[in-house]
Every structure is written in structure tokens, then in C-alpha cells.
Amino acid sequence: MAKQEKVRKRILVIGGDGIGPEVTRWGRRVLEAVAEKYGHEFIFEEGLMGHAAIEATGDPLPEDTLSKARQSDAILFGAIGHPKYDQDPGLKVRPEQGLLRIRKELGLYANLRPIKLFDELLAASSIKPEVLQGADILFFRELTGDVYFGEKKKAEDGSWASDLMIYHTYEVERIARRAFEAARQRRKTLCSVDKANVLESSRLWRATVQRVAADYPDVTCTHMFVDNAAMQLIRDPRQFDVILTANLFGDILTDEASQIAGSMGMLASASIGDGTGLYEPIHGSAPDIAGKGIANPLASILSVALMLQIGFQMQEEAEAVVRAVDQTLKAGYRTVDIADKHTPNHMMVGTDGMGQQIIRFLS
């Protein structure tokens, strides 16, 4: 291994709610192991967001956390959410407001979600192995527009409600360019997913993507309606390379695509803009298993690999983390969400057991 130049980075860790702190702890441990192995210096700070922040401060994103985020080189995030908000949709202050606000405040307009299947997990998916094997998709989900941020209205008597689905051309263009650039480094194909046969915002989306595509003649660009894309992801996931889509559609399709990888516990994501990036597993807070020590930390650990690769330009270090995950799975270790009927009991591990194996292979 060639001697690496020492790098000093400041990282904000936001565990959040439910299993968030449990899995994020192992993301941090992996970063510490990487720093030790390669001679880097990672300085960690902690911050509150979500239900935990509401309980402590009354605010889902306290100013202290936002200030630390702005001063950090990267953010490692867990998950937010609590059952009390599901049971009472009328609550005005909610955990997800913190996540939406930090995305807006930091300009995190592009959400990258790699869907890559480790061969050892072919049997963990409910989809036939012969359909899955070789699937490797990179989603680009627009993150700061669409119905999540459009004007919301509700009748005083509760008889109707509306959410404005709005996009500006600059919002579509900036994420489209990132997606085309990524496609150039992969298999040079990009599929833009919309609903242009029904939605005016999707017609603007498609027209903008077509205009940007002209600047990338080496990338084959196709378009697909979202309902068809949802079906095609399950029918033949190997047809896709880079998928570019809007906020709402991306939210739904990437959860569906988690079944290609066998579990949501395997999927990492990076939310990036022009400054500090936020790296997180795509799974939620999973309050039903919080505190039981059985949550899969691999999505958080793979998010760390994205942080190293995209945020810090540390390709060798990122590859070492992914390799450690691959070696751990090849050795047969499984958390409950990725186990199958052939997994022997002595290879079943919890959150800490899986994290320890990753550190062992990494070190």
C-alpha cells in the first residue's frame, strides 16, 4: 500500500432516532479505523435532529446542529422518526421537518443511491436470483423540489387538501448534469423517469433533460414513465445503469429497488450539493427493532464508503471499506434481515457483531 497523504476532516455525526444511533456508531467506528490505517485525522462532533431534538429542544433541527453542519466537511446521519407522529398526523412539529430543512439549508439537491447486489445475498431477495445477478444501478433523485417543498393547502373544514408539485428548469438541469457526468464514468446509459403523459411539471422535466442530453452525445438517454419504471425494476433490473428522477418518484422507486439488494439495511445514500454532503442509509428509524441490537449497520458503513469516495476523494479508502463488507458477507456473517434458510445459527450476528467483523477485515 502506497503511503497516503494525511488528510484532516471534520465530520458531524447525527444519530437521530430509533436505530439511527445504533448503526451510525459503527459508521463512525469504521471511519476511525480508516483514519488509523491510512494516517488521516477525522474530528467528530455530535448533533441532534428529529424526534430526539424535539424532545430536547422543541426544534427538529436546532440551530446548534445546523451551525455544526455548516462548519463540517461531511455529515454522517442515521434516521429520524417516532411512532407518536404516525399516530397523530396533525402534530405541527415533526421529525421529518428537520431533515427537509437541513437539505434546503445546505443546498443538498442531489441524492445518490447505488443499488448494487453482493452475490452472497442473491438468496436474501424475494426476486429470482437469475433476474437479479449483475444488477448495478445508480439513482439520482432530485432532493429539494417537487411536492415536498411546494405550497400546501387544506380546507378549514378538512374536506380537501393540495400539495403543489413544482419544478424550475435550473433545478432539473443541475441534477441532470450530475447524472450525465456519472453515466460517462459507468456504462454510458441514462434513463430519466417522469410522468410526462399526465403532469405538466414532468413535461418540463423531460424537456430540460432532453436539452441537457445534447451536451452529452456519448451517453444514451432514454425516458420512461414512472409506473412502467416501477414494473421494469422488478422485471429486468439489469437493463438500468443510471436512473434520473424527481423527488417523489425517487423516494418510492429506491425503496422498491432495495429488494434488488436484498434489504433496505444494505443501501447507502449520499445527499450532495455544492458544499457539505450528508451520508445516510436509506432505511428509516425502525422503532420496532430499536434497542434490540439486531439492526443491520452495513448501510451506514457503505454510506461511509460514499463519504470517502465522493466527499473526500479517497478512492482507495472507499474501496477498502466496500471490500471489508464483501469479505464479511463472503465469510457468511448475516444479520437477521439478510439471512436466509441456509444461514447457520453461529453465523447470525447482531449490530455489534456485524460491525466488529467489518473492522476486523478492514484492519
Residues 6 or more apart whose CB falls under 8 angstroms from that of 17 comprise 50, 51, 52, 78, 79, 80, 81, 82, 95, 285, 287, 290
> Are 108 and 271 in contact, with CB atoms under 8 Å apart?
yes
Q: What does the alpha-carbon distance between residue 94 and residue 83 come to, in Å, rounded to a whole number?
A: 11
Q: Which of 86, 119, 227, 274 is catalytic?
A: 227
What confidence score (pLDDT) does residue 128 get? 87
> Are 357 and 331 in contact, with CB atoms under 8 Å apart?
yes
> Are 81 and 285 in contact, with CB atoms under 8 Å apart?
yes
Angle, helices 351-362/20-38, rounded to nearest 10 degrees: 10
* pLDDT in 10s for each residue of the chain, 363 residues: 455 678 999 999 999 999 999 999 999 999 999 999 999 999 999 999 999 999 999 999 999 999 999 999 999 999 999 998 888 877 889 999 999 899 999 999 999 999 988 888 887 777 888 888 889 999 999 999 999 989 999 999 999 999 999 999 999 999 999 999 999 999 999 999 999 999 999 999 999 999 999 999 999 999 999 999 999 999 999 999 999 999 999 999 998 988 887 777 788 999 999 889 999 998 899 999 999 999 999 999 999 999 999 999 999 999 999 999 999 999 999 999 888 888 889 999 999 999 999 999 998
- DSSP states of 241-272 as a string? SEEEE-HHHHHHHHHHHTTTTT-GGG-EEEEE
Residue 10 to residues 43, 128, 182, 311, Cα–Cα distance (Å) = 5, 43, 26, 12
Residue 5 to residues 35, 36, 171, 314, Cα–Cα distance (Å) = 11, 13, 36, 10
The DSSP letter of residue 309 is: I
Q: What does the alpha-carbon distance between residue 50 and residue 60 come to, in Å, rounded to a whole number?
A: 5
What confidence score (pLDDT) does residue 1 get? 47
What confidence score (pLDDT) does residue 131 get? 87
Q: Is the dihedral of CA 330, 334, 338, 342 positive or negative?
A: positive
Q: What does the alpha-carbon distance between residue 363 and residue 357 come to, in Å, rounded to a whole number?
A: 10
CB atoms within 10 A of CB 227: 13
Q: Which of 148, 167, 216, 333 is catalytic?
A: 148
What confidence score (pLDDT) does residue 226 get? 98
- CA-closest candidate to residue 244, choices 177, 148, 167: 177
Q: In which residue are the cell numbers 430543512 written?
A: 101
Whether 9 is a known active-site residue: answer no
> Are 45 and 13 in contact, with CB atoms under 8 Å apart?
yes
Whether 227 is a known active-site residue: answer yes
Burial class (CB in 10 A: 0-12, 13-18, 19+), 342: exposed
Q: In which residue are the cell numbers 417543498 written?
A: 149
Taken in order of first residue, the domains within the chain and their CATH numbers are 1-114+263-363 (3.40.718.10), 136-259 (3.40.718.10)
The DSSP letter of residue 348 is: B
Q: Which of 64, 136, 255, 326 is catalytic?
A: 255
Residue 244 to residues 61, 138, 221, 251, Cα–Cα distance (Å) = 29, 9, 10, 12
Q: Which of 195, 279, 333, 337 is catalytic?
A: 195
Alpha helices in the chain (DSSP H): 20-38, 51-57, 63-70, 83-87, 95-106, 129-132, 169-184, 200-213, 226-235, 247-257, 298-306, 315-330, 351-362
- CA-closest candidate to residue 250, choices 308, 242, 126: 242
Whether 86 is a known active-site residue: answer no
What confidence score (pLDDT) does residue 3 get? 53
What confidence score (pLDDT) does residue 262 get? 73
Whether 195 is a known active-site residue: answer yes
Q: Which of 64, 136, 251, 326 is catalytic?
A: 251
